[in-house]
Amino acid sequence: MSERTETTASTPLQARLAGARAAGRAALVGYLPAGFPDVESSIRVIQAMVEGGCDVIEVGLPYSDPTMDGPTIQQAADRALAAGTTPRDVLRVVEATAATGAAALVMSYWNPIDRYGTGRFCADLASAGGSGVITPDLLPEEAGDWFAATDEHGLDRIFLVAPSSTDARLASTTEACRGFVYAASLMGVTGTRAQVADTAERLVTRTRAVTGESGLPVCVGLGISNGAQAAEVAGYADGVIVGAGFCQRVLDAPDLPSGLAAVRGFAEELAAGIREARPAGHAG
């Protein structure tokens, strides 16, 4: 692993997470693949997500081999790829997302970034107003070039931890993160579930135990499908991450206006649940 430096300026992501914490609540983080159902429509869907209460948007870079994604997000990504979505389109969606005032991240498997060019991708993302990148299949010990590029362009980098992560892995991963650490609440692929995995709170507790004085936020994703679940997670996490639920509402809608209304309403439900939660350990 290469020697790393820390940026001192706050990114939009760090500012939005700090603002939510100051307000005594968790942040709402929404995910949507760029280009789903097409590029211009995905921008409108993201605008509806922000209007409904999302603080942070993960813009997905559609990929043909999404090993960690469940059927709903795979279907959405397939639609985006069929529409001809390119990495340049993803950056255009990031720029439009940043214009809403929400913090804009990219969620991407490593191969598309590597093919684009690590330094070039970071430079272009920063120019588009992006705050950082979530790389679910990249291990910190294999990310030397990634550390250098994200440091150079002032981008946050988010890695994942899981219930199976050892304490040593939790420590090394959180030390590598900037912005927040993504706590995948269960083993398996993404998708909505009837209840939040009981491993989620324990994972957040274990992760916080190794973040030390940094106060690095811990955001929880995988399986959140309604306002009650969002409230449950907001009681112990710094952020509530929702993806499949937004994609499903677009997939189920007979037309785009109906999809936008459904997405906005879903975001409002999640945001209301978060506001009603009693934060434990992250309000300040």
CB 242 within 8 A of CB 224: yes
Q: Which two tokens stand for residue 14?
A: 């760090």
Q: Which two tokens stand for residue 43?
A: 């921008």
3-class DSSP assignment, residue 240: strand
Written as one letter, the residue type at 155 is L
Q: How far apart are CA 184 and CA 189, in angstroms?
A: 10
Active site residue 58: yes
Active site residue 38: no
Catalytic site residue from 38, 55, 69, 232: 69
Catalytic site residue from 38, 55, 58, 156: 58
3-class DSSP assignment, residue 255: coil
How do beta strands 103-107 and 181-184 pair?
A: unpaired
How do beta strands 160-161 and 156-158 pair?
A: unpaired
Residue 72 phi/psi, 5° resolution?
Answer: -65, -50
CB within 8 Å of 23: residues ≥ 6 apart? none
CB within 8 Å of 255: residues ≥ 6 apart? none
Numbers of helices and strands, H then E, in the chain: 12, 9
Would you name the residues annotated as active-site residues? 58, 69
